[in-house]
Structure 1
Amino acid sequence: MKLRDMKIGTQLRIGLGSILLLVVLLGSAALFDGNLLWQQQEGLYSHPLTVRRALSDARYDYMVIQLRMKDLVQAGNEREQQAVIQEIDSFEADASRRLAIIYDSYLGPRKDVDDIQDAAVRWKAVRSETIRLLLAGKSPEAASRVKPVGADSLAAAKVLHEFKDVSDFALKKGDQFFANAKKLKNSLQLQLAALLSAVFFLTLFVSYLLLKTIRTPLQELTAAAKQFQGGALDTRSSYDSPNEFGMLSDSFNELAETVQLELLVKENSGRVADAMLQDDELRPFCRELLKELLQLTGSQVGAVYLLDNQNSAFEHFESIGFSSVNTGSFSATLHEGEFGSALATGQIQHISNIPPDTKFTFATVCGQLIPAEILTIPILAEQKVVAMVSLAGLRPYSVAAVRLVNDVWHVITARFNRVLVLEKIRNFSEKLELQNRELESQTREMTAQKDELTEQNVELELQKNQLDEANRLKSAFLSNMSHELRTPLNSVIALSGVLNRRLANAIPDEEYSYLGVIERNGRNLLALINDILDLSRIEAGKEEISLERFSIRNLVSEVVAMLEHQSNEKGIALLNGIDEGLPTILSDYTKCRHILQNLVANAVKFTAEGSVEIHAVQRGDQIRISVTDTGIGIAPNQIDYIFDEFRQADESTTKNYGGTGLGLAIAKKYVTLLKGDITVTSSPGKGSTFTIILPFAFESAPSGGQVRESAEYPGSPRTGTQPVNVSGQGKCILVVEDNDPAVIQLSDILNGQGYCVKAARNGKEALEQVEKSLPDAMILDLMMPEIDGFEVLAAIRSMEKSAHIPVLILTAKHVTREELSFLKGNNIHQLIQKGDINRNELLKSIENMVQPLDKTPPSPARVQVSRRPAGKPVVLVMEDNPDNLLTIRAMLDKTCRVLEASNGQAGLELARAHEPDIILMDLAMPVMDGFKTLHALRNEDGIRHIPVIAVTADAMSGSREKILAHGFDGYLAKPIDWNTLEEAIRETLNDTENTDC
């Protein structure tokens, strides 16, 4: 296989492999020669160099010994002689070690080394004799022996002479090693130069071949691509090879073919479309269409057939190349001939490979035409073939021709149908032309009326949109004006109330009565503003629903307490006829109270004598609350409008009753918002009955979600307020309010009860005062400059020392659901609207904040004792819900003895009778709720020691601390978990070892 036909990867592997092989050979040769050179260097070091170094050291040692022998003879005393003798022994030992090294490393004759050792041994014997003579006191004889011609000196000279042979041999051996190393170095240089030259030239050669096999096809492909990009659509790459470049060349050619075909088809499609747009009349249109199709597809004949009016046959309409004798029709239902398949499928049919003896022939002027291929194009309208275009040619159709027909089929169909429709319209127009002339005048008149009505409709729609927008803006404006309207009005009411209290008996009675008029009318105006704002919020879609479960009787009791003073002034009876056995409902407590308050207030207002009664009955999953009065009644023609805004039963200029007519409208809208209804029956002069129909459970409540129970916590009562006479001595209240009249009003009320009042004009000043000194409670406005009330509340709750300060919110702002959720999450005590401050209610709230347990007299401290009951512990469960009671009993029945009570009063009686070991108490119970029951329990000596665990569905942030602050020994949130219940009972009984429960 040629190199150019190989795969690019194969070419690269061969070229780079060859270079790599030479590089490996070069490295191997360098490694081998380097090893030989190292051997020569190692021999030079290990033998001649080592021998000469040891020889030099040994010669030195013997020369020193010779000198020390002379010093020994000259030594003055025995001590010096012994020192010299030791030194001679040391050098002699070192010389012996050097001779051993020479013996091991010397490459010459062993006799040379043996001669040195023999001479050294003889010298040692001579030295020993000299030393003996010296030590024997024969110093002259010893001195003569160390003289140059003495025996000792001659023996030393003999030793040194023997070193010369060894030294000469080692020197010659070193020269020999050096010469060999030099030869090896020259050989290594020649080999490396040769191999490097071979690698270099081979790399050049391989690179040339690779560049040639890669660059040449790339250049050819690049040139072809540039020519194709320049508009030469017939440009093709001539490079042919089985490698990747050959495959890339083939792909380029295929892509060029496809692009050229696409462009040709699009160009021809445009020509067909242009031809079809030249005429809207059917016959010229068909003629132009056939001419263009014959030219672009290479067909020799073509015809158009149209479906007749009976939808039974296709008749010849227009053709090119056909003889006039071949203009028959064919059935539209039998699917016969070359058109049968197209009729059956509704698709273009391409008939090819037609044999010479076929019956598919076409008559022309010159004779019968035997086509090579036939194209049949059905024209569909509403899934039915309404026309047929047939093309035939003497040569097979090209791919471009078939592609063109398929691409323009839908365009031809759409345009053909349009022309057919226009033809039908043209025919109908001609038939109706006479009738149109007769009706022309009527048409003109009706057109004029239509135009006029259209203009009026446009104007009315524009006015409607303007009214809707104005109404929306009005509602939004009123809804956002709550703070701006209530704040100045609050100043009027607050300051008039302050003056009313401070100027009593200080000014004339007539002038003093003016203050009462100001305050009364201010409150009336506030009530009106509240109604308007409530209505605007409903219309603006900003009214939100806050669900909680509460008792209807408690709700009615609260409303009756609020309006009882008004009914007593008029001398009419206000009766609460709600049965205590009614179940609680899940709805918006505030809105239900507003609805009922409006209805009862209206009933009291329009009743001069008699009574107003409130009753409630259960009807399936609904509750019906009725308010019946013996007042003036409502005329039948007024009942349909009584719930409209600003409508009243008495609208005369001499009416006896005031009001704006918003109360019933708001009540109706609130009832609708709560998925309920309100009805009215009345007899003029006898009275009226308004009936509120509400579902027991609001349908939009999220399943499984937490629903707040109306437990009526102390500190936020839902009953009427009675006069309060509690001293606030020693209690400090921080008022955070930027409105001076509001500060004056609150200070006047609280100072009168002995409270110490501190004022902060903004949030920053409030935080500074809290940092300096903690108040006993705080009254907080929400709308303030710089730092608003929400930020202040979040800040004090985030600090450990101020996290438990009770906070009462006082604001003129309409609080949204999100804001209310934030306030609840930060454990506020109560929320009061400005301008509607009731002195007794405010003082009651303050009292409950700073003295939450003052209702009951102080009792002796409850002594905590370790209760270890013998046998099963006795557990008293106070729960009004049968399902919850059943659940707790099932949990405790096997390990504890369970007593059951459905309300607080019954629970107290059982506690007195049985003195249980522990009490599980629900907070929201009829007759007596959990808080009141706990207070009563703690006031009785015999049962005050019993531990009590609160069981509640209130799981909001801060609820646990708030509940435990009332004196409960434990807290359990519903739904109850068995492990949690068991642990709570264990901890409360203070006996984890002996208690089975």
Structure 2
Amino acid sequence: MPAHRIRHQYIYTIITIGVLAVLYEIAVRTLRAITQHQPFFEPVIYGATGVVLLVAFAPLRTIIRQYTRRLILRVSIPADHIEEKLVNIFAQYTDKNELVQHVRALLMSSMGFSDVVVYLRSEAKQFESVLDNETSHGKALRSFLLKDQDAWHVLTRVELMHRPELHDYVLKKNIHTVVPLAVNATLVGWIECRGGRMRLVKDTVDTLEHVRTLLSVTFHRVMLDVKFAIRIEQLVALNRISQTMNSSLNVKETLESVMDSIIQLLHVDRALMYLMNPDGKTFAPRIGRGMSEHIRLDFTVDISKSIFSHVVKYRQPMVVLDAEHDPRVNKMYAGFVQTKSFVIVPMVSKEKVIGVIGVDNLHSGKAVSEINLELLVTLANDAAIALTNSRLYEEVHNFNTILQERIDEATKHLRALLEMKSHFLSVASHQLRTPTTVIKGMLSMVEEDPKLSEEKLREFVHHAYVSSGRLERIVNELLSATELEDPQIRVNLEKIDIVDLIRGIIAHLEPLATQRKNTLTLNTEVEELMTMTDKYKLFEALSNLVDNAIRYTKNGTITVSLVARAEHYTISVTDTGMGVTREEREKIFDKFQRGQEGIEMDPNGTGLGLYIVKRTLEVLHGSIDVQSAGRGKGATFSVTLPK
């Protein structure tokens, strides 16, 4: 009980005891006079009178309290005295709640109200009672005051009851007067004076009107201070988020900071961040605050089937006051998070919505219409910037990683090329030196001895001729390998007969096969196969393949087979020569790759033949494969080309 009420109780009790003492004395004297002061009646008179007055104490005290209050209130209330007390209160207290509490106490004690409720304009431009949060109760009165500035004076119960829209509210709250609070033609709040059994006299109304301006200005200043403090808190939080964004590349840390600030600054119960999935058609919840443990965040939201479609399309915040009856709301998605009313704002980055933040007051039941949308949009955009920056950093980091990998790969490839070049020069110099030395030696002997016999001369010329052929072959292979390295190599397509081409290759290489005592045959299912290809390149590739089979086969058989299919044809060269091991199969088509047995069988080879074959077939959009049962068991090279 307030101190002033306790003091009043003491006063009423003392007055009642005094009145009872007077009545007791009067009653005793009267009864003694009636009984003619006979001693026999003395105890009865004193006892009976005391009992009667004791029983009458409580009702008498109530009567005295009522008439005393009426007497006090009908005496002119000193407005200057009330104003002085208000000034002292305003000077002593700066906290909004403490200020309202002491103003209430002053008005209740000075004017006999049983309750005083102060409504003030909040940061969200709504009106709510300061101490008991009666936001919904004052809506009718708020609408009336906002609509009619002429009503901004002290309103008595009689005036209020003449308004049909206020009639029920006035009766329900037992309102006797309303004091509107206005500054610069703006309603900042009002004071409802409730209760009391007395009828307000004109002096009371005049006193309230006298202090109304003081109350308006003071409460407005307090609300500005509160607003300023809130704004400072917001700026501090935004600065903290900015520092987090600048100092940390951890996007999760930044987004967590944003979500914490939303709860702290907006004073909402729950907040949930949805981010757009890579498909651009769905959102998924990522970070929540205030969510119950039983709510699972493992669902996705189809944008086209939810209210998110409006947010993505218009990039504007949306307020939903009744999720159950709002046709824009998907009831299934709302049920996942058990929301009844909410606010959603887009996370916009570079004119594109990359996420959505939703907030509500499920636990407290406060109206979501009071939420500061401007601040929520600012925080959502901060989150969008942080997310975009993080993704850009990740993209740059990934690009640098890929670039470094490519540089390493290119460096490795360059080193391999340098090694290959060195090896190429070594092989080329060695291979070129051998036939050149033979030719030079034969010609030198002919020049030094003019008396050589015809037989010796023929022998020397033959050796020089064979070496020149070997030299020509080496040069051609080196030139072909170099030409095939060019990515812009030209292909001259013409219509040719593949069967005729193969027969020409066999005729060209049959002397070499005979020389090595090999049998060279053709096995074909068709007599003619017309196709578009580069005749010269295909002739060179197949010649190298057959030549390779002849050189690595002695006293054996080489069979060239042709099989035609609907969309391609296959040319197979099968020999009974030295064969290919499993290890050799993996690198047999690389440059300068020759096994030891191959070197022994053909010491004059360059190791470029099969490389030229494979690279040429790749240029012609074909492929080559090798099958062999192992060393000494022959091999089959199969070439597949499109028709």
TM-score range, shorter chain: 0.3 to 0.5
What is the TM-score when the length of structure 1 is the normalising length? 0.26
Larger Rg: 1
